[in-house]
Amino acid sequence: FGRRSVLIAASVIFTIGALEMAVARNFIELVLGRMVVGLAVGFASSTVPMFIAELAPPERRGELVSLNNVCIVTGQVVATLVDGAFGGVAHGWRYMLGLGALPAVLQFVGLFFLPESPRWLLANGRELQARKVLSRLLPARPDLEDAVALEVRNIYESLAREDGLALPAPCSQSTGAGPEPPCISPSSTSVSINRPSCNGGRAPGTLAQLVARLPWPSLTGRARERLPPPGGG
């Protein structure tokens, strides 16, 4: 399956999981919904950085891949604010969890306006489609055909050096493991968890630290060395 197809499927799975948690009638159904959401998050977190890097023009690749990390933590901050808004509402935790379907639906719609990854197309013998995608992605220039041919050659050379692919993220996310998801006390106590394991107040600090640690000098072009994965490095 292509990168875009995986992300479309992840959007559908996430929506189903979020709605399942919102209407859960007991703890088991809530856990099952969380597992479904975790699976979708795992697929997305392992695919989105690759998809961005493979679609982004070389001069903006570092910037856009780094922006993905900023958006992840920004989402945690927004989720904390949303959770706080529903903290005093009866059954507010259902709204908190159900609203998670909204960004998944937006992502689902947006993906239909994006092309498939040219790297994936070349890896699967679809060179003509890959050339068409690259013609759309690369800036218009008199020697566009030569630029496309050069990019195709570079991708083929990169594929030849590829050792393999590991996808640990779907497995870890399906169990809820991940980089410190934010929680807040009101939502935790409303589902009878008296001692929450994490604090939503840490999310803004996490965002500030991430922004401060971004490799700003290398964001406007090809990074001199590969950036660490979102989960650490």
Res 191 pLDDT > 70: no
CATH number of 116-165: 1.10.286
Across the range 102-117, mean pLDDT stands at 95
pLDDT in tens, 76-102: 899 889 888 998 888 899 999 999 999
| In the chain, where the domains are located | 3-114+168-218, 116-165
pLDDT tens digits for range 176-187: 444 444 444 444
Q: What is the pLDDT of residues 136-161, one digit of tens each?
A: 888 888 888 988 998 899 889 888 88
DSSP string, 153-216: HHHHHHHHH------HHHHHHHTT-SS-----HHHHHHTT-SS-SS-TTHHHHHHHHHHHHS-G
Which fold does the domain 3-114+168-218 belong to in CATH?
Growth Hormone; Chain: A; (1.20.1250)
pTM score: 0.71
Q: Which of 73-87, 155-169, 218-232 has the lowest mean pLDDT?
A: 218-232
